[in-house]
C-alpha cells in the first residue's frame, strides 16, 4: 500500500465535514486542486473510492469513505491536539469543535457550550449541526462532528453513549389546569384532557405506547416538533404535554408547572453519542465537562442527574 499522509487525512476530514471540495479547500487554506489531488492520492493509497462528486450537489461519501472519515477526523483532532497540548500548559484549548445537537435539546446544549468555550477557551472554533437524533449521530459517524447530544432511545448501533443527565418525561401544565395541584398524575388522569405532543420519533411513539400499556387513550389535539410552541400552548392552558426538560415558564412568559407521572415510565437519559472505539480528544472531554457543569448548576448545586425535579413558579427554582 502506498503511503498515507497526515495532510491527505486532514483534507479528507474537511471534505467529510463540509461535503464540498471548495469549502474544504477554504477551511484548510489551500487550493481546490491541492484538496482534489490529496483525495485522489488517499483513494489510491487505500485502494478504495471514498467520495463521489455530484454536479451541483457537492460530495457524497461512499461506505468506505464514511468509515475512513471517522478515523481521519480523529487524526485531524490529534494534529490540532499538538497545538492544543501547548496551550493546555497555559490552561487553554484550541482547534475546531463541531457538536451535533438533537433539535429539541438545542436550547439546553448550544447556549451553555457557547458560554463555556467563549469564556474559557476562546481559541476553540465552535460550531453546531442541528437535526433529528439519527441525523446528528450520522454526522458523528461520517466525521462531520466529534460528538452529538441526543436521547438514549435514539442511540444508533455504531455509537456509544456517555450519560449526561438521566431524565424522565414529566407532565407539563399551566398552573390553571385542573390537575396542576396534584403531586403526581396518572396517565388515566390525563386521558380526558386535550394534549399537545412532541412530533418527533421515537418520542411520539414511546409516549403513545406508554398510554397504551396503561390501557388508556390520550386526547391528542395537536402535535408539534417545536418544544417552544408546545410550551406556549401549555402556558395558555390549552393543553397539557409530556416533556423531558422542565422549564419555569413558556417563551411567552406564562408560568409552567411540571409533575411526575405516577406509574411506570421509562427513563430516557440525555447522552453524548460518540463513535464507538474512537479515543476522545481533549475538546470532546471538555465538552462533556461543560454540559455536566451546566446541568449541575441548573439543579441548584445538587446532582445533575436528579430525574424528578418538579418546577413550580411558586417555589424558588433555578432558571432553565
Q: What is the pLDDT of residue 280?
A: 82
Q: How far is CA 9 from CA 43, 72, 165, 171, in A?
A: 11, 5, 34, 48
The helix/strand/coil state of 290 is helix
Whether 259 and 173 have beta carbons less than 8 Å apart is answered as yes
Same domain for 298 and 150: yes
Same domain for 189 and 219: yes
The helix/strand/coil state of 244 is coil
Same domain for 297 and 246: no
Place of cell 389535539: 221
Alpha-carbon torsion, ordered 278, 282, 283, 289, to 10 deg: 100
Among 84, 113, 129, the domain-final residue is 84
The helix/strand/coil state of 261 is strand
Same domain for 188 and 63: no
Give me the half-sphere count of Cα atoms (radius 13 Å) on the Cβ side of residue 226: 8
> Could you state, in chain order, the average pLDDT of each consecutive group of 10 residues for the chain (320 residues)?
80 86 86 87 84 76 82 72 55 83 90 94 92 90 88 87 86 95 91 92 81 91 92 96 90 94 78 85 91 77 34 36
Q: What is the pLDDT of residue 250?
A: 93
Q: Which of left, alpha, beta for 219 (phi over 0: left; psi -120 to 50: alpha)?
A: beta
Same domain for 183 and 136: no
Same domain for 250 and 183: yes
Same domain for 290 and 248: no
Closest by CA to 19, choosing from 121, 103, 130, 145, is: 145
Task: Identify whether 202 is preceded by a cis peptide bond (ω within 30 of 0).
Answer: yes
Same domain for 174 and 157: no
Among 84, 108, 131, the domain-final residue is 84
Among 16, 50, 84, the domain-final residue is 84
Q: What is the pLDDT of residue 310?
A: 33
Q: What is the pLDDT of residue 144?
A: 84
DSSP category for residue 176: T
CATH of the domain at 115: 3.40.190.10
Alpha-carbon torsion, ordered 154, 160, 161, 162, to 10 deg: -160
Whether 132 and 156 have beta carbons less than 8 Å apart is answered as no
The helix/strand/coil state of 196 is strand
Q: Which domain covers residue 138, as residue numbers?
A: 92-167+267-320
63 membership: H or E segment, kind and range = helix 63-89
d(CA 223, CA 5): 51
Q: What is the pLDDT of residue 87?
A: 53
CATH of the domain at 8: 1.10.10.10
Chain-centre distance for alpha carbon 241: 22
Q: What is the pLDDT of residue 309?
A: 32
Same domain for 184 and 250: yes
Q: What is the pLDDT of residue 316?
A: 36
d(CA 110, CA 89): 27
Provide the number of structural domains found in the chain.
3
Q: What is the pLDDT of residue 320?
A: 35
Q: At what angle do helices 63-89 and 133-141 cross, to 10 degrees?
A: 80
Same domain for 99 and 73: no
The helix/strand/coil state of 294 is helix
Place of cell 438521566: 166
Same domain for 123 and 154: yes
Task: Identify whether 316 is preceded by a cis peptide bond (ω within 30 of 0).
Answer: no
Q: What is the pLDDT of residue 240?
A: 96
Q: Which residues contact 86 (CB under 8 A, 6 or more apart)?
A: none
168 membership: H or E segment, kind and range = none
Same domain for 286 and 274: yes
Amino acid at each position: 500500500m502506498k503511503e498515507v499522509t497526515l495532510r491527505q487525512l486532514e483534507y479528507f476530514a474537511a471534505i467529510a465535514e463540509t461535503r464540498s471540495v471548495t469549502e474544504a479547500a477554504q477551511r484548510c487554506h489551500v487550493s481546490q486542486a491541492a484538496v482534489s489531488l490529496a483525495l485522489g492520492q488517499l483513494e489510491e493509497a487505500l485502494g478504495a473510492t471514498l467520495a463521489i462528486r455530484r454536479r451541483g450537489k457537492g460530495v457524497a461519501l461512499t461506505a468506505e469513505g464514511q468509515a475512513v472519515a471517522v478515523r481521519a477526523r480523529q487524526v485531524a483532532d490529534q494534529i490540532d491536539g499538538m497545538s492544543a497540548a501547548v496551550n493546555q500548559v497555559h490552561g487553554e484549548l484550541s482547534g475546531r469543535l463541531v457538536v451535533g445537537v438533537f433539535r429539541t435539546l438545542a436550547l439546553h446544549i448550544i447556549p451553555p457550550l457557547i458560554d463555556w468555550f467563549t469564556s474559557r477557551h476562546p481559541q476553540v472554533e465552535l460550531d453546531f449541526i442541528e437535526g433529528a437524533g439519527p441525523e446528528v449521530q450520522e454526522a458523528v459517524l461520517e466525521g462531520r462532528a466529534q460528538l452529538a447530544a441526543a436521547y438514549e432511545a435514539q442511540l444508533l448501533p455504531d455509537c456509544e453513549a456517555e450519560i449526561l443527565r438521566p431524565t424522565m418525561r414529566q407532565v407539563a401544565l399551566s398552573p390553571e389546569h385542573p390537575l396542576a395541584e396534584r403531586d403526581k398524575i396518572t396517565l388515566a388522569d390525563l386521558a380526558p384532557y386535550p394534549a399537545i405532543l412532541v412530533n418527533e420519533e421515537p418520542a411520539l411513539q414511546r409516549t403513545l405506547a406508554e398510554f397504551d400499556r396503561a390501557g388508556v387513550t390520550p386526547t391528542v389535539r395537536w402535535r408539534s416538533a417545536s418544544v417552544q410552541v408546545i410550551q406556549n400552548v401549555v402556558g395558555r392552558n390549552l393543553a397539557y404535554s409530556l416533556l423531558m426538560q422542565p422549564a419555569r415558564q413558556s417563551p411567552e412568559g406564562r408560568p409552567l408547572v411540571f409533575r411526575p407521572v405516577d406509574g411506570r415510565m421509562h427513563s430516557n437519559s440525555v447522552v453524548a453519542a460518540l463513535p464507538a472505539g474512537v479515543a476522545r480528544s481533549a475538546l470532546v472531554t471538555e465538552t462533556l465537562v461543560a454540559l455536566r457543569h451546566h446541568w449541575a448548576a441548573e439543579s441548584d448545586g445538587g446532582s445533575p442527574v436528579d430525574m424528578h425535579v418538579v418546577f413550580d413558579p411558586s417555589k424558588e427554582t433555578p432558571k432553565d
